[in-house]
Structure 1
Amino acid sequence: MKVNFFIDENQSEYIDFHVKKLTPAMQLVVDELQKQDVVLWGYQEKIVTPLKLDEIIRIRTESAEVYAQDMGGVYKVKHRIYQLVELLPDNFIQISSGEIVNFNFIDHLKLSGKGNIVLILNNGDETYVSRRYVSKIKRRLGI
């Protein structure tokens, strides 16, 4: 397959695909590219801020509200976890029904003899993978 990049800072960005047929692998590429344009808005009191996806450490539910955490703080988000799982790129991994973590911010894991996994994040926070998601996480991490 031939791939061309034409770099012009004055041109608006777009992508054209010229293919004989749309394969599932190509559809995954398209889906991932479209997810890159997702803008997540974070609310702190009366301030609304666009959050940079590559800076979000984790997103979790707390007291029926959804919060996104980055190095700058914690922001309320107006989406539900199940919606964010569909919207966010593949570097975000759902680890429980109420939490998603950014794969790029995982420092290391603690594995227990009983099969439990504790994720240690780059900022020092610990979070637990629910039993329901353990096999999915192991598959994703290749362990």
Structure 2
Amino acid sequence: MKVNFFIDENQPEYIDFHVKKLTPAMQSMVDELQKQDVLLWGYQEKVVTPLKLDEIIRIKTEATEVHIQDISGIYKVKQRIYQLAELLPDNFIQISSGEIVNFDFIDHLKLSGNGNIVLILNSGDETYVSRRYVSKIKRRLGI
């Protein structure tokens, strides 16, 4: 397959595909590209801030609120975890019904003998993978 890049900072970005058939792999790639345009707004007190996806460490439900932790702080968001899971690109992985982590911020894992997984984030924070999501994480890591 031939691939061309035409770089011009003065032009709006767009992608055209010229294919004979749309395969599931191509559709997956399109879905991922479209997710890169996701813009999330975080709330702190009375300040609303756009959040960059590549700076988000984790998204967590606390009580009835959803919080996003990024490299600069913790923000409230109005979406629910299941809505965010559908919007976010593949480097975000849901580890429980109430938490999503950015794969890029995982430092290492602790595997226990009973099959539990503890994720250690680059910040030193620990979080636990719920049993329902253990197989998904293992598949993703190839373990």
Task: Report TM bin, short chain.
Answer: over 0.9
Q: Deviations over 1:72-130 (max 9, x none)?
A: 11000111111111100000000000000000000000111000000000001000000
Give, in whole Å, the separation in 2 of the partners of 1:5 and 1:71: 32
The equivalent of 2:94 in structure 1 is: 94
TM-score normalised by the chain length of structure 2 = 0.99
TM-superposed CA distance for 1:41, in Å, is 0.5
| CA deviation string 1:6-61 (max 9, x = no partner) | 00010100000001111111100100000000001000010000001000000000
Matched, 1:124 2:118: no
Q: How many residues align?
A: 143
Q: Residue 106 of structure 1 corresponds to which residue in structure 2?
A: 106
**1:30 alignment partner in structure 2:** 30
AA aligned opposite 1:137: I
Cα separation, 2, equivalents of 1:130 and 1:27? 30
Note the 1:1-143 alignment, pairs <5 A.
Answer: 1-143=1-143
Gaps of 5+ in 2: none
| Structure 1 segments of 4+ aligned residues over 3 angstroms from their partners | none
CA distance in 1, matches of 2:52, 2:138: 27
3-state SS in 2 of match to 1:95:
strand
Identity, in percent, stands at 87
C-alpha deviation, 1:71, in angstroms: 1.7
**Backbone CA RMSD of aligned residues:** 0.5
Name the aligned partner's letter for residue 18 of structure 2.
H
Which amino acid is the alignment partner of residue 86 of structure 1?
E
Q: Which amino acid aligns with 1:126?
A: E
Q: Which runs of 5+ in 1 are unaligned?
A: none
User: Could you tell me how far apart the structure 2 residues matched to 1:141 and 1:103 are?
Assistant: 10
2: CA distance, partners of 1:74 / 1:10: 35
